[in-house]
Amino acid sequence: MLRVVSVLLLLMVSTLSGAASIDKVRVWRAPDHTRLVFDLSGPVNHKLFPLDNPDRIVLDIDNSKMAFDLAVLDLDNSPIKAVRSGIRKGDDLRVVLDLRGKVQPRSFDLAPNDQYGHRLVVDLVTADQPKEKTVADTAQTQKLVKGRDVVVAIDAGHGGDDPGAIGPGGLREKEVVLAIAKELHRLLSAEPGFKPVLIREGDYYVSLRDRTRLARKSGADLFVSIHADAFKDKRARGASVWTLSARGASSEMGRWLAGRENSTDLIGGVGTLSLTDKDDVLAGVLLDMSMTAVIGDSSEVGGYVLRNMGRVARLHKKHVEKAGFVVLKSPDIPSILVETGFISNPTEARLLKSRDHQRKLAHAVFKGVKQHFERKPPAMTQLALLKEQRTGRSYRVARGDTLSVIASRQGVSIQRLREINGLKNDLIRVGQVLQIPAS
């Protein structure tokens, strides 16, 4: 009996002492950071710290071994000159990142999911990124410029280490939606009065909160998030458009999809919207007013997009749906999420893979966005000024106003002002709304 116990203890010690292996290393480059993902055979403890003269990052991983050839890593256009590894002591591994300059490093572990096993993530944030407040002030200043463009932030879902949904033949959502996003960007770039901004320009991950933060930094008038999701039932099919529901999802599928999308922030950090300079009551009132207006505008533009989508694709529902997607929760930017189809459905997967169908979907979104802003352009934009020139504008009579004073201020004749408003004389009243003809 003693011998059996001894053998079991020996086996347990041997198992516990077995080193975890780093089976693969992946590099993802984004505009403001570079991400390294270490695929592990099991959980590990690690420590990360920077060194200078020369600049480098040291990553110590307990009881581990390198089973990947670091020489094959593509480090072009990254802050990393080289990656090397060696045994520090015993079975502990040391990985050194030789740098081209200063970075802000951060690291975290990720538990296994349906795509990957255990992972260790290292982010190298470019140290000389502009402060958000400065960029935000610039965006606000831009809004005051007469005749500015309508800014549309285009968000291609997922990216980098997060492939999104996987369709037949390994078709990946992140690639499909980026292709559609780039085509939408091309269409809006060619349209006078619009300025599109790609939230994700390449194959890298941006956290859900950072997507809306980047849209805000660009001074966006609209946020369009593009997806091609999957559902547990492969028969599910059809394109759809979603806006935020303050009460949460409006259907079981909405709750399922929203929970799935929101959970992807486990891959990275999240941002937050601060109202720390407001008291609780004022902050609540401002957010409530802003969210009400934003949800209304989101529903309007979503309706235009959905109608145009219905001309090129089968619709899942004939109305704009609502759910609690994190990327739709910006209180100051109208936002829609476009599901271009179900990549889990074999028929729709073949369409989504087609370049021609991708162009049709992008054009449908473009047409819907254009129709909305032509009808309801933001103040001081080129589109607003053009609409004003075509249709004129309105003026509410204030105390002390006379028809002659209003005509002089607005640069029109009294006779024309009378005609367009059906006035038989010059009598007007406080609060009366007058139509001002285009000059």
Is residue 42 within 8 Å of residue 116, measured between CB atoms? no
What mean pLDDT do residues 237-245 have? 93
Higher pLDDT, 6 or 399: 399
* pTM greater than the 0.85 cutoff: no
How would you classify the pairing of strands 33-40 and 46-51?
A: unpaired
pLDDT per residue as tens digits for the range 297-350: 999 999 999 999 999 999 999 999 998 887 887 777 899 999 999 999 999 999
- Provide the pLDDT for residue 255: 44
Among the listed residues 395, 392, 401, 396, the one whose alpha carbon sits nearest the alpha carbon of residue 427: 401
| Measured CA angle at 176 (ends 172, 180), to 5 deg | 165
Mean pLDDT of the chain: 83
Residues of the chain with CATH 2.60.40.3500: 17-126
Residues 131-176: tens digit of each pLDDT: 444 344 444 444 443 589 999 999 999 999 999 999 999 999 999 9
Residue 179 has pLDDT above 80, yes or no: yes
CATH of 132-375, one of 3.10.450.50, 1.10.3720.10, 2.30.29.30, 3.40.630.40: 3.40.630.40
Return the CATH number of the domain spanning residue range 392-436.
3.10.350.10
Predicted confidence at residue 272, as pLDDT, reads: 34
Q: Which two tokens stand for residue 170?
A: 């390994």
What average pLDDT does this structure show over 33-38?
93
pLDDT tens digits along 254-308 = 444 455 555 554 433 333 334 444 455 565 555 566 667 788 899 999 999 999 9
Q: How confident is the model at residue 107 (pLDDT cuts 50, 70, 90)?
A: very high
Q: CATH 3.10.350.10 region(s) of the chain?
A: 392-436
The segment(s) of the chain belonging to CATH 3.40.630.40 are 132-375
Would you say 265 and 207 are in contact if contact means Cβ atoms under 8 Å apart? yes
Per the CB < 8 A criterion, the answer to whether 210 and 260 are in contact is: no
Lowest mean pLDDT among 4-18, 44-58, 177-191, 210-224: 4-18
- With a CB cutoff of 8 Å and minimum separation 6, the contacts of 341 are 228, 237, 238, 239, 313, 314, 348, 351, 352
Residue 268: its pLDDT value, please? 34
The domain defined by 17-126 carries CATH number 2.60.40.3500: yes
Cα distance between residue 258 and residue 74, in whole Å: 35
Give residue 270's pLDDT. Answer: 30
